Amino acid sequence: MSASIHDAIRAVFRIESPRLIAGLSRIVRDIGVAEELAQDALVAALEQWPRGGVPERPGAWLMATAKHRAINVLRRSKLSERKYTELGHLIELSGSSSLERLHESIDDEVGDDLLRLVFTACHPVLSTEARVALTLRLLGGLSTAEIARAFLVPEATVAQRIVRAKRTLAEAAVGFEVPRGAELAARLASVLEVIYLIFNEGYAATAGDDLMRPVLCEDALRLGRSLAALAPAEPEVFGLVALMELHQSRARARVDASGQSVLLLEQDRSLWDHLLIHRGLVALDRAVRLGGAGGRYALQAAISACHARASRANDTDWARIAALYAELGALTPSPVVELNRAMAVAMAEGPAAGLALIDRLADEPALRGYHLLPSARADLLERLGRHGEARAEFERAAGLTQNARERELLLARAARQAG
pLDDT in tens, 265-291: 999 999 999 999 999 999 999 999 999
State the pLDDT at residue 22: 81
Task: For the chain, state the CA radius of gyration.
Answer: 23
State the pLDDT at residue 278: 97
Q: Is the pLDDT of residue 310 over 50?
A: yes
Angle between helices 113-121 and 3-28 (to 10 degrees): 80
Q: Which residue has the higher pLDDT, 226 or 73?
A: 226
Q: 103 falls in which pLDDT band (50, 70, 90)?
A: very low
Please tell me the pTM assigned to this model.
0.72
Q: Is the pLDDT of residue 96 over 50?
A: no
Would 279 be classed as within a structural domain?
no
Would 408 be classed as within a structural domain?
no
State the pLDDT at residue 213: 77
State the pLDDT at residue 99: 40
> Residues 137-173: pLDDT tens digits?
887 677 888 788 767 678 999 999 999 999 999 888 8
> Residues 60-89: pLDDT tens digits?
888 888 888 887 777 666 444 555 455 454
3-state secondary structure of 377: helix
Q: Mean pLDDT throughout 211-229?
A: 84
Q: Is the pLDDT of residue 105 over 70?
A: no
Burial of 240: CB neighbours in 10 Å, binned 0-12, 13-18, 19+: buried
State the pLDDT at residue 34: 83
Total domains, the chain: 1
> Residues 358-400: pLDDT tens digits?
999 988 998 988 999 999 999 999 999 999 999 999 999 999 9
Identify which of 71-85, 213-227, 229-243, 292-306 has the greatest average pLDDT: 292-306
Burial of 299: CB neighbours in 10 Å, binned 0-12, 13-18, 19+: buried
Report the residue count for the chain.
Answer: 419
Q: 306 falls in which pLDDT band (50, 70, 90)?
A: very high
Closest CA to 202 of 190, 224, 218: 218
Q: Which residue has the higher pLDDT, 87 or 318?
A: 318
Would 232 be classed as within a structural domain?
no
State the pLDDT at residue 82: 52
Would 16 be classed as within a structural domain?
yes
Alpha-carbon span 277 to 284, nearest angstrom: 10
Would 92 be classed as within a structural domain?
yes
Q: Is the pLDDT of residue 1 over 90?
A: no
What angle is formed at CA 297 by the lines to CA 294 and CA 301, rounded to 5 degrees?
90
State the pLDDT at residue 85: 54
Alpha helices in 231-295 (DSSP H): 235-248, 274-289
Would 68 be classed as within a structural domain?
yes
State the pLDDT at residue 88: 52
Domain span holding position 11: 1-110
State the pLDDT at residue 261: 80
Of 45-54, 95-104, 259-268, 357-366, the least confident: 95-104
Would 126 be classed as within a structural domain?
no
State the pLDDT at residue 283: 98
Q: Which residue has the higher pLDDT, 184 or 116?
A: 116
Of 42-56, 107-121, 147-161, the least confident: 107-121
Of 43-52, 99-108, 391-400, the least confident: 99-108
Q: Is the pLDDT of residue 93 over 50?
A: no
Q: 209 falls in which pLDDT band (50, 70, 90)?
A: low
Q: Is the pLDDT of residue 239 over 60?
A: yes
Would 145 be classed as within a structural domain?
no
CB 321 within 8 A of CB 300: no
